Amino acid sequence: MGYRIVCAEPNHCVVALTTSTGNARFFRRAQWDFRLGLAPGGSILTCCAEFCLRIRYIFLAPVLYLKKSAIQPDLEALKQSVER
């Protein structure tokens, strides 16, 4: 999948999906909003993902909602990389 950085600031960035093939074919639009903040003993990374499904794949909405915790390991790895 291809991505484009829409916004890049010191503790904030927005990344948007640019392709419509492979797994991206399900989405009309998708973007991720990342915010980095201070926390006791480290950092806190907040990610807000916004997906707009293509109408023919609307049946996937409940599945994606139930699997929203699947991104947690990726965010933890990103946090560790940022802190290094």
Q: In the prediction, which pLDDT does 1 show?
A: 77
**Please, which pLDDT band fits residue 69 given cuts at 50, 70 and 90?**
confident
Instruction: List, for residues 4-45, the tens digit of each pLDDT value.
Output: 999 999 999 999 999 888 878 888 899 999 999 999 988 888
What DSSP letter does each residue of 2-71 carry, written as one string? -EEEEEEETTEEEEEE---SGGGGGEEEEEEEEEEEEETTEEEEEEEEEEEE-GGGGGGHHHHHHTGGGG
Q: What are phi and psi of 10, to 5 degrees?
A: -50, -45
Residue appearing with tokens 């790895």: 77
Domain count for the chain: 1
- Asked if pLDDT for residue 74 goes beyond 80, the answer is no
Proportion of the chain above pLDDT 90, given as a percent: 31
Residue type, 70: A
19: containing domain: 3-83
Q: In the prediction, which pLDDT does 11 show?
A: 94
